[in-house]
Amino acid sequence: MTFKCFHCGQCCENVTTQIAVTISDVQRLSLFLGKSVEELIPGYISLNPFGQPDSDKYELELGLNIPCRFRKNGRCIVYSARPINCRLFPTWIVARAPLNEINKVIDKENKCSRNKYSALDQKNAKNYMKTVGTIFDFENKITEKTIPKRTVKISDFPGHEMIEALCSHIANEREREKIRIPFIKQHIKVEDSTIKAIKRGLENTSFQKLPKTKPF
């Protein structure tokens, strides 16, 4: 098959989407757009809360601000320079999930769950993951050394009682996250020291060009 993106925007605009970026992603975007690191952070990329399964804790990581500001008129304006994590969706699911479970694992809100995947698609996805996934793991280690993760909880911030009370009346966890994540984000600021650390990291890192091939 040829993978079809239906441009539903769920992976770009749903605030519960977690898209971590590496400092090399920042460099690729900077070169592509002709924008400085300061122009990208914190407007397009910032420290964002990433939820942990079965936990009330969130890890603050470098990630795209969602809704993604690189999406214009229903399309990605940085597609050829998009972050690695964007390239790996839904490839990592196709590569790892049982073949007959793939469309169940991809959230129904994402219209790409309509695609039908074959055993050959899964084989190609696994090969793609070996190449691009390896690059991501390498870049992610450098990013974590440059910007150490910090853990926060809702209760760390003033006004959390109202948020927790509101969420207590919502059964669906995904819907609760749509309230919690923006609440945390409004309390997180990117310090100048973080931007300086990223720039120092870029000076000491040679970013890798990503393969132009697609998994499907």
Q: Phi then psi for 116, rounded to 5 degrees?
A: -105, 125
Find the domain containing 58 and state its range: 10-203
Per-residue confidence (pLDDT) for residue 97, from 0 to 100: 92
pLDDT tens digits for 166-185? 999 999 998 999 999 999 99
Rg (CA), the chain: 18
- Token output for 52: 């942990």
Identify whether 213 is part of a domain.
no
pLDDT tens digits for 55-72? 889 999 999 999 999 999
* Model confidence at 1: pLDDT above 60: no
Q: Are the beta carbons of 174 and 16 closer than 8 angstroms?
A: yes
Q: Residues 34-44: what's their mean pLDDT?
A: 94
Per-residue confidence (pLDDT) for residue 76, from 0 to 100: 93
Q: Residues 102-123: what's their mean pLDDT?
A: 86
Q: Total structural domains in the chain?
A: 1
Identify whether 208 is part of a domain.
no
Identify whether 216 is part of a domain.
no
Sequence-ordered alpha helix ranges (H) in 34-110? 37-40, 84-87, 91-96, 102-105
* Residues contacting 186, CB < 8 A, separation 6+: none
Per-residue confidence (pLDDT) for residue 207, from 0 to 100: 65
- Token output for 115: 């695609």
Per-residue confidence (pLDDT) for residue 116, from 0 to 100: 87
Identify whether 2 is part of a domain.
no
Identify whether 212 is part of a domain.
no
Q: Phi then psi for 172, rounded to 5 degrees?
A: -80, 120
Q: Residues 180-196: what's their mean pLDDT?
A: 92
Instruction: Supply the mean pLDDT for the chain.
Output: 89
Q: Are the beta carbons of 210 and 79 closer than 8 angstroms?
A: no
Angle at the Cα of 144 (from 13 to 78), degrees rounded to 5?
35
